[in-house]
Amino acid sequence: MSKKHTARPDGLAYSTNKDFFNDYPDDEPVETLPKDKQKLRVKLDSKQRAGKVVTLVDGFVGTGDDLEALGKQLKTKCGVGGSAKDGLIILQGEYKEKVIGWLKEWGYTQTK
């Protein structure tokens, strides 16, 4: 079976100009769900981290700023480093039970 390749009529294959292509609509801004509607999942992971255990908080739906704020609040409460991006909060260390308790205390009732 042969595949049909679609090419631009002007022969252009790649451009670094962000405004050149307007083929895809901009992502719609995501509104942050209320705390009681967030379905957060807390789990421990050590894959691809040289055996170090990290606590992952997954499933956050909302803006990047709100995710960063929650991540900062958890990192401060645990006293550890970590990061927050793409709907995932990573905390360095094993804090699963504490994080679940704090999230439920803060109003994230659907946390597991």
pLDDT one digit per residue (tens) for the chain, 112 residues: 445 555 556 665 666 776 665 555 555 567 888 888 899 999 999 888 888 999 999 999 989 999 999 999 999 999 999 999 888 999 999 999 999 999 999 999 988 8
CA distance 67 to 4: 42
95: buried, middle or exposed (CB in 10 Å: 19+, 13-18, 0-12)? buried
Q: What is the pLDDT of residue 88?
A: 93
CA distance 99 to 106: 10
The class that CATH gives domain 35-105 is alpha beta
Cβ neighbours, 10 Å, residue 67:
21
User: pTM of the full predicted structure?
Assistant: 0.72
